[in-house]
């Protein structure tokens, strides 16, 4: 059995919560056009015959912090990076690269965990800034193109996630009695 902690990382409104909801086939994370709707780390469990995944949906990271709440969110999103088995770095191909992407890439580079670059919103044809992100691809272990909203290539992404996760000797959680306290790995302030 394979298993591990997978972090969803990206700037605000990139589609992390939408992806998590699609993978789990239920709404566990708030989605909104308003930036930084997710204001704390959210852990959610996924299990199939291949193994178990604890997904951690992080708040979007801002390049310029405008207030104390955003500053606290940025610190929280960065602080747990050493505790993950895989990073999914999501980008929105309909938005031009900017300071937020540069900050996030700098943070992601600090982790030794395997990394998958996930281009989101492939269902939207224009605008298309994916060419601006091509230089990122060489720094990642794999690249996947998805539409989180339309659930396009979600199965492909899950297969790649399991490819990178380690073999585990014990389950990460008891799926019969799943609760926030049943995870063997905890992040601070996730469920509080």
Q: Which CATH superfamily is domain 2-166 in?
A: P-loop containing nucleotide triphosphate hydrolases (3.40.50.300)
pLDDT higher than threshold 50 for residue 85: yes
- Cα–Cα distance measured from residue 147 to residue 90, given in angstroms and rounded to the nearest whole number: 11
* For the ranges 9-18, 54-63, 179-188, the one whose mean pLDDT is highest: 9-18
pLDDT value at residue 191 = 31
Q: SS3 of 188, please? A: coil
Q: Name the band, by pLDDT with cuts 50, 70 and 90, for residue 128.
A: very high
pLDDT higher than threshold 60 for residue 94: yes
Residues 144 and 117: beta-carbon distance below 8 Å? yes
Residues 100 and 61: beta-carbon distance below 8 Å? yes
**In the chain, where the domains are located:** 2-166
The DSSP annotation for 166-177 comes to: PB-SS-SS-GGG
pLDDT value at residue 155 = 97
pLDDT tens-digit map of 3-44: 999 999 998 889 998 999 899 887 664 443 444 444 455 678
The DSSP annotation for 102-156 comes to: HHHHHHHHT--S-EEEEEE-TT--SS--HHHHGGGGGGSSEEEE-BTTTTBTHHH
37 vs 161: which has the higher pLDDT = 161
Which residues are CB-contacts of 24 (< 8 A; sequence separation ≥ 6)? 44, 46, 55
User: Which residue matches tokens 């492909």?
Assistant: 156
- Cα–Cα distance measured from residue 145 to residue 185, given in angstroms and rounded to the nearest whole number: 29
pLDDT higher than threshold 80 for residue 69: no
pLDDT tens-digit map of 96-107: 998 888 888 988
Q: SS3 of 185, please? A: coil
Whether omega before 77 lies within 30 degrees of 0, making that bond cis, reads: no
pLDDT value at residue 13 = 87
- Cα–Cα distance measured from residue 108 to residue 53, given in angstroms and rounded to the nearest whole number: 20
């Amino acid at each position: 059995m394979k298993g591990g902690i997978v972090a969803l990382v990206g700037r605000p409104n990139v589609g992390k919560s939408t992806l998590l909801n699609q993978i789990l086939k239920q709404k566990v994370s708030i989605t909104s056009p308003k930036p930084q709707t997710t204001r704390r780390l959210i852990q959610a469990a996924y299990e199939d015959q291949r193994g178990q995944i604890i997904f951690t949906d992080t708040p979007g990271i801002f390049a310029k912090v405008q207030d104390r709440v955003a500053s606290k969110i940025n610190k929280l999103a960065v602080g747990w990076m050493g505790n993950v088995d895989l990073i999914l770095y999501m980008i929105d191909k309909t938005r031009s690269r900017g300071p937020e992407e540069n900050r996030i890439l700098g943070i992601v580079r600090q982790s030794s965990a395997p990394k998958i670059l996930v281009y989101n919103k492939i269902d939207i044809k224009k605008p298309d800034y994916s060419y601006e992100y091509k230089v990122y691809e060489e720094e990642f272990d794999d690249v996947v193109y998805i539409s989180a909203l339309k659930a396009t290539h979600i199965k492909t992404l899950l297969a790649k996630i399991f490819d990178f996760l380690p073999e585990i000797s014990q389950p990460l959680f008891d799926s019969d009695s799943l609760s926030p306290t049943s995870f063997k790995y905890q992040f601070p302030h996730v469920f509080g």
